[in-house]
Structure 1
Amino acid sequence: MSAKPSAPHISLSDFPVPFPKSSELCSKLTVTTGGYGVELESTVPGESWLPGQPAVPLSSCANAIMPYLRKDLMTPRLDKMFPYLWLVATQSSSHISALHEQRVRGREVIIAENPELHLVWADNRVFIKPLPPYLLSHAFWQAYLTPMPITTPAVAKTPLLIPGITTQEDQEDILRSALGFMRTYYYLIRHESDFRLAQDLHILPASPLTFAAFVAFISHFSPDGAGSSKPVSVTDDFVSPRYRFGQLRLTRLNLWAKPALGQWKFHKLSWQYAETFARLYPPLLFAFALISIVLSAFQVGAQAAPQWETFAAVAAWFAVAALTVVGVVGVTMLSLLVCMVAREFVFAMCVE
């Protein structure tokens, strides 16, 4: 394994909108300026909300957009686990299987709106967060994500205030998360077959969209070199710590969540007692089968050579050890059941 990675510290103070307005796939928003504030307005009559989110109003006085972005894009727990992620997955942000490859590997795509679960996989499932329509809008990136000043003749070269932003670092954290998230779709949809699968799975916005238009848009989030038609390269230096890695295995996340987060699990795989204990049956049955075979061998050996005292002593010791192991396993299983019931009881008592 490679050495433990370090988190990026490059400033995004001059980071531009990653794509030109001609490449945007959502034209429902426009930027308006006035005084010292910046607002978004819908170009669709009667729609005064964030595209795809009717519960999030566009009005700056509501101050709802930035709190929503923190919840919808940021991955604080995975960022905190960053020093441990090299033990969880390949240390490469491009380690992301395209959608058709997910099918080849026998994985079912499960839609997950929680950004912490995006590209996390377990057994035959992989969780993918749908692409929000607002991230396809040039006006949205200009108004809320890129920290470059928006100026007007009345307020020349003066950065306009973004509602909900407390510090430049706060804004940069959201921008890093957005850049990293968008870059994952550059790897997820590489072929037209991936694009068709994405449409069937409803992880792309429901709009008249062609594969060519999507490729022209998403290529601006690639880590390849920038050029005249590509303002910037979205390399690992510009994304949040979580997105310096690709797919993450949930079983390993659950293992390292204990030292990294102080939590028993990162995310529960099983929601029923029967499923939890069913996962323990195969290894326990395998261990007990081995113990049974060894005990049978000792019994046959002791009967064949009763005068072999050393062999008899080892057989007696192993029999006691086997009984001890069975007792410890039984107590552990019972303790696990008691802990699970107690946790649910505490949770039920704490919920208002």
Structure 2
Amino acid sequence: MGKRHEMAVRTILEENEDSVIEIDSSKGLEPPFAEEEKILREEDLVLPGTYHHKRNVISINNDVASSVKGYMVCDLDVTRLNKIHKHLWLAGLPSASRALHNQVRVGREIIITESADLHIVWRDNVVTLKPLPDYLLSYATWINTLCKDEDLYRSARGFLYSYTWLISSKSDLRIAHAKGLISEDIKWEHWAPFSAAVVSRIQGDPSSINQRYIYGELRLKRLNLIYRFSNASNFKTMIRGYEYGYHQYSTYFERNFKWVLTAIIYITVVLTAMQVGLATTQLNTSAMFNRVSYGFTLFSILAPLITLVIGAIIMLILAVFNVRHALGEKARSHQ
């Protein structure tokens, strides 16, 4: 079990080593707040006992620096978004996201996620938010871990910065407490000066944050399109996109084929109008109207059949893909 845990942590660190530069804090990496501005004392910080990484559950050893770092690298990982950064302008604006009270005002339901790359991602009337990790409020954690790795440092600063967008008033803080986004021990008199210090330091050095946080809210449908077509050679990516949110085929068709119902209603209205038109003397003798009616009638017969065939093909492809994926996971679990 110990070897498996060590290998899993090493895998997390190796996956990020292309963009990770080990630097100590003496080279200019400093916490985004002063020690006297911290909200959380080191002795009050309690890290999780375990975390998930690629379907594996990994335990955290607080006495081993690499174990703690591996957890934080995984917890703040936004590699998927960085891979498509040049296309993110299609999914969002390079500006701060709405504050929490405005998210509620526009009718969005706040859903909790523990994935940093789904933080402030929205679809329809839902926005997913990752709770603010307590360790980002600890000065000692910044000095001992976050400031010793440039990539992790930039991700941590960017994520913390995003919460200064979300919580900018007392009403925002009340919503954050109610939704479990931030510790209830953090009061307004703590957050107000802390967030002001963070903003003043980060806005003065925007290059110190991960490039994902140049953008605020990102639209999930656009992210799915970007992911599918920016890596069209990858069959898995083409099927699943950025976030595969369909656990039933019925959900997939409900979200992607709503337009069919609208089309059927429109066709029905047009056919009814044509029937009325053919009953009149003026249009009944019109060669052009008869040709149009004939063509549209054929179209209204064939179009639903073609749509059904396409839907059946898509369902078959999804079924084959899911079976292959399940068999692959089964084979990996036995290795």
TM-score w.r.t. length of structure 1: 0.76
Aligned residues: 289
TM alignment of 1:32-71, pairs within 5 A = 43=43, 51-55=46-50, 56-60=60-64, 63-71=66-74
Q: How far is the alpha carbon of 1:280 from its aligned partner?
A: 4.1
SS in 2 for 1:311: helix
Q: Determine the structure 1 residue equivalent to 2:118.
A: 117
Write out per-residue CA displacement over residues 259-285 of structure 1, whole angstroms, 9 at most, x where no aligned residue.
Answer: 234423211333222222222453111
Q: How far is the alpha carbon of 1:66 from its aligned partner?
A: 2.0
Unaligned runs of 5+ in 2: 1-22, 51-59, 331-335
Q: Determine the structure 2 residue equivalent to 1:270.
A: 246
Structure in which a larger fraction of residues adopt helix? 2
SS in 2 for 1:336: helix
Partner AA of 1:201 in structure 2:
K
Q: How far is the alpha carbon of 1:193 from its aligned partner?
A: 1.2
Q: How far is the alpha carbon of 1:314 from its aligned partner?
A: 2.0
Partner AA of 1:145 in structure 2:
L
Q: Determine the structure 1 residue equivalent to 2:39.
A: 25
Partner AA of 2:36 in structure 1:
S
Instruction: Report percent identity of matched pairs.
Output: 29
Task: Indicate yes or no: 2:249 matched with 1:249.
Answer: no
Segments ≥4 residues shifted beyond 4 Å: none
Partner AA of 2:167 in structure 1:
I
Tell me which of 152, 158, 164 is aligned to 1:186: 164
Write out per-residue CA displacement over residues 241-261 of structure 1, whole angstroms, 9 at most, x where no aligned residue.
Answer: 211100111111112111234
Residues 139 and 234 of structure 1: CA distance in aligned 2, closer, same or farther (over 3 Å):
farther
| CA–CA distance in structure 1, aligned partners of residues 303 and 226 of structure 2 | 26
Task: Indicate yes or no: 2:328 matched with 1:350.
Answer: yes
Task: Indicate yes or no: 2:262 matched with 1:259.
Answer: no
RMSD (Å), alpha carbons: 2.1
| CA–CA distance in structure 1, aligned partners of residues 28 and 191 of structure 2 | 26
Unaligned runs of 5+ in 1: 1-10, 29-42, 45-49, 148-170, 227-231
Partner AA of 1:77 in structure 2:
R
Q: Determine the structure 1 residue equivalent to 2:99.
A: 98
Write out per-residue CA displacement over residues 201-241 of structure 1, whole angstroms, 9 at most, x where no aligned residue.
Answer: 121135x332111122222221x4x5xxxxx6454322112
Q: How far is the alpha carbon of 1:186 from its aligned partner?
A: 0.5
Q: Determine the structure 1 residue equivalent to 2:55.
A: none
Residues 318 and 233 of structure 1: CA distance in aligned 2, closer, same or farther (over 3 Å):
closer
283-292 vs 306-315, which moves further: 306-315
Q: Determine the structure 1 residue equivalent to 2:151.
A: 173
| CA–CA distance in structure 2, aligned partners of residues 241 and 297 of structure 1 | 55
Q: Determine the structure 1 residue equivalent to 2:20.
A: none
SS in 1 for 2:152: helix
Asked if the contact 1:221–1:234 (Cα under 8 Å) also holds between the matched residues in 2, the reply is no
Tell me which of 195, 198, 222 is aligned to 1:221: 198
| CA–CA distance in structure 2, aligned partners of residues 127 and 307 of structure 1 | 60
Q: How far is the alpha carbon of 1:81 from its aligned partner?
A: 1.3
SS in 2 for 1:110: strand
Q: How far is the alpha carbon of 1:72 from its aligned partner?
A: 0.4
| CA–CA distance in structure 2, aligned partners of residues 203 and 310 of structure 1 | 64
Q: How far is the alpha carbon of 1:334 from its aligned partner?
A: 0.9
TM-score w.r.t. length of structure 2: 0.80
Task: Indicate yes or no: 2:284 matched with 1:306.
Answer: yes
Asked if the contact 1:179–1:234 (Cα under 8 Å) also holds between the matched residues in 2, the reply is no
Q: Determine the structure 2 residue equivalent to 1:239.
A: 209
Tell me which of 178, 190, 201 is aligned to 2:179: 201
SS in 2 for 1:237: helix
| CA–CA distance in structure 2, aligned partners of residues 59 and 261 of structure 1 | 41
SS in 1 for 2:111: strand
Partner AA of 1:17 in structure 2:
P
TM alignment of 1:126-141, pairs within 5 A = 126-141=127-142
SS in 2 for 1:141: helix
Write out per-residue CA displacement over residues 279-330 of structure 1, whole angstroms, 9 at most, x where no aligned residue.
Answer: 2453111111111222222333334243322221222122222323222211
| CA–CA distance in structure 1, aligned partners of residues 286 and 216 of structure 2 | 59
Q: How far is the alpha carbon of 1:177 from its aligned partner?
A: 0.8
| CA–CA distance in structure 1, aligned partners of residues 321 and 204 of structure 2 | 43
